[in-house]
Structure 1
Amino acid sequence: MADALPSFVEPLGNGLWAIDTGFHRDRFDAAYLVADGGRAAFVDTGTAFAVPRLLAALDALGLPRSAVDFVIATHVHLDHAGGVGQLMQALRGAQLVVHPRGARHMIDPTALWQGALAVYGAAQMAQAYGSLVPVPAERVRVTADGETISLAGRPLLFAHTPGHALHHHCIWDARSQGWFTGDNFGMAYPEFDVGGRAFIFPTTTPVQFDPEAMRASIARLTAPSPRQMFLTHYSRITGVADCAERLLAMIEATVAVALARRDAPDRLQAITSGLMALYGDGARAFGVALPDDQIAALLRDDAALNAAGLIAWLDRPSRASATPANA
């Protein structure tokens, strides 16, 4: 019999659960568990530190580790896939399902670690991410765009969705009429919800942001008129058409902030400040009533990381999507 659910596991219906990975703060970073017909799959894992929570969710739901057929990474950024190797060690019968551009980083995470180390530094890497464990190549399955895999007869369709990263795919779950969107349908923290509506903004973190590709991916995600989206940051949102309209407007405004400050002496500081103003003003206009200092505290790290990603985009030759040496 299943145990009482831990506080970090939220039932979403349709055989879905959101698991708060505990990364940075509560309700910031979600992994998902899909269960059907006695079989299960995880979508994203959080960092290595989240793996005990994922295993505890299985235990609470009465699912043996042998029931997990798939561990799916929407992309290989460490807040989504940093715990993949450790989780795969615990789930001996599971396959890792990953975008073909991300597979080699899961098999040999050296370059992935070094790239993140350059962004965050050694101290933050140790504190926030722990370590990376390689996944044996024979346990890695790469997706084709438009491919469907079956979880006990439940179809999960994969769409390659660049914009946030070239190694990004999203997963359509027909049963729930929802997408697992990783980072390609923005971020929507629960603290900013107003009247059940989500305040949403794009994530442009280093190093493969491409606004044109992101807009195209959003159009693809909204084409089947989904009932809901399952974001990593954070959890389920509804009112998808309204969110998409506001997200597209925020992408335009974000690009404008970067272009207006591309020649500033300290671009990182200038773009970060511009994004903080954009997010803060946007939150106020949306109806968020939190104190200014709390809004700033919740958004400061995102603004800095998004600014760094915008600088990478500004400096890309012809601002065309290109695979960097470490990606």
Structure 2
Amino acid sequence: MSEAHGIHTIDTGFHRPQFDAAYLVVESGRAAFIDCGLNSSVPRLMAALAEAQVAPDAVDWLILTHVHLDHAGGTGLLLQQLPNARLLVHPRGARHMIDPSKLIAGASAVYGADEVTRTYGELQPVDPARVTEAVDGYAVDLAGRELLCLDAPGHARHHIVIFDQRSGCFFTGDTFGLSYRELDSARGAFILPTSTPVQFEPEPLKASIARMLSYQPAGMYLTHFGRVEPPARLAEDLVEQIDAMVAIAGAASALAGQARHAALCAGLEQLYADRAEAHGCEPTRKDVIAILSMDIELNAQGLGVWIDREAGA
């Protein structure tokens, strides 16, 4: 799907329609991908490139917001199709693209080894000579168009966000939360934070959101899913929910094991269903919880990891 300013939204095909996006940014015949989905997403990305009438050798960059596999699993395979492209990734994530073994092990711990193999396939390593580390403030020059990379912890410590000077928008990965089109209402987009394990940190996440707002962006391009606005209202919604999620974690922290996880899931279900109802979302409470079931499970897992980390601090 092509939008203004040469930005193309690509549905990677992961999980369900309009769940996981990659972006193609085209400027004066040159191009950059931002995130890439899975190995199985690569044909979709190459088809989008052809539709935009850009040759594979005119792609200069693949920029990863972070190295979670729904964003970065297809990196090695995609770069095999793009002879001149370099990989731009957070310094903490670069080694995992060069040697994906620890990345696979981490995902297997969350999802199970069989599920990781079935969903993501065999990750292809990236030649270290093709990797550039995106330190805070690194600026990509895409045919004269600046793409500014900012360190953005909170969801993951290997996360960057990318400010596109031309459109005035951020590509936010997961730092600016999740927003599914099924939950849009007359008030606009419904948004929620993601505390996917294992590096959720509420105060750094709020600081990252505030830093993005300081650029007065026109819109936010989320991996899950698509462009949303207005940023200021959505940021307020996110911060309120981050604080509410911390409170839910605090209430459950005295519990252990499955009892704690069940309490976290129940608290998140109520939080999101109540807010969706207040937002005027069309789906019923039951359907909202069903749409968000994967996110509720992963957010609960992430809060559990955070509780344990705080207790050991």
Corresponding residue number in structure 2 for 1:171: 162
Moved more, 114-123 or 78-87: 114-123
Q: Is 1:275 the counterpart of 2:268 in the alignment?
A: yes
Q: Do 2:198 and 2:302's aligned partners in 1 also have CA atoms closer than 8 Å?
A: yes
* Corresponding position of 2:301: 308
Cα distance in 2 between the residues matched to 1:138 and 1:196 = 47
Q: State TM-score, norm by structure 1.
A: 0.93
**1:244 aligned residue (232, 235, 246):** 235
- Provide the residue aligned with 1:12 in structure 2: 3
Q: Would you say how many aligned residue pairs link Structure 1 and Structure 2?
A: 311
In the alignment, which of 190, 195, 208 is matched to residue 199 of structure 1? 190
Out of 212, 216, 229, the position equivalent to 2:220 is 229
- Aligned partner of 1:141 in structure 2 is 132
Q: Which moved more, 1:180-189 or 1:126-135?
A: 126-135
Alpha-carbon displacement from aligned partner over 1:53-84 (angstroms, at most 9, x marks no partner): 00010111111100100000000000000111
Equivalent residues of 2:23, 2:34 under 8 A apart: yes
Q: Which amino acid letter does the alignment assign opposite residue 237 of structure 1? A: V
Select the structure that is richer in helix.
2
Paired residues of 1:313 and 1:319 also in contact (CA < 8 A): no
Shift of 1:145: 0.6
d(CA) in 2 for partners of 1:296, 1:76? 27
Residue 290 of structure 1: aligned partner: 283
Answer with 60-69 or 124-133: which moved more: 124-133
- Give how far 1:196 is off: 5.6
Q: CA RMSD in A?
A: 1.1
Cα deviation, residue 317, structure 1: 4.6
CA distance in 1, matches of 2:57, 2:267: 49
Unaligned runs of 5+ in 2: none
CA contact (8 A) 2:187 2:280 kept: no
Q: What residue number does 2:107 align with?
A: 116
> 2: CA distance between counterparts of 1:296 and 1:140?
40
Q: Secondary structure at the match of 2:189?
A: coil
Shift of 1:268: 1.3
- Aligned mates of 2:294, 2:163 — CA distance in 1: 30
Whether the 8 Å contact between 2:277 and 2:285 is mirrored in structure 1 is no
Q: Is the 8 A contact 1:72 1:96 kept in 2?
A: yes
Aligned to 1:151: 142
- Look up the match of 2:152: 161
Query: Which residue among 81, 84, 89 is the counterpart of 1:98?
Result: 89
In the alignment, which residue of structure 2 is the partner of 1:325?
Answer: none
How far apart are the structure 2 equivalents of 1:319 and 1:294?
A: 37
Q: Which moved more, 1:20-29 or 1:272-281?
A: 272-281
- Give the corresponding residue for 1:74: 65
Letter matched to residue 279 of structure 2:
F
> What are the superposed Cα offsets for residues 231-276 of structure 1, whole Å, 9 maximum, x if unpaired?
0011100111111111110111111111111122421111011111
Correspondence for 1:7: none
Q: Distance in 1 between matches of 2:121 and 2:275?
A: 34
- 2:71 corresponds to 1:84: no
* Distance in 2 separating the partners of 1:287 and 1:228: 22
* CA deviation after TM superposition for structure 1 residue 286, in Å: 0.8
**Aligned letter for 1:271?**
L
- How far off is 1:126 after superposition? 2.5
Aligned to 1:263: 254
Percent pairwise identity: 51
Which one of the candidate residues 25, 30, 35 is aligned to 1:34? 25
How far does residue 42 in structure 1 lie from its aligned partner after superposition? 0.2
The 3-state SS of whatever aligns with 1:102 is helix
Instruction: Give the counterpart letter for 2:184 in structure 1.
Output: D
The reply to whether residue 43 of structure 1 matches residue 48 of structure 2 is: no
Q: CA deviation at 1:130?
A: 1.8
Does 258-267 or 99-108 show the bigger shift?
Answer: 258-267
SS in structure 2 at match of 1:187: coil
Give the letter aligned to residue 281 of structure 2. Answer: V
CA distance in 1, matches of 2:232, 2:2: 24
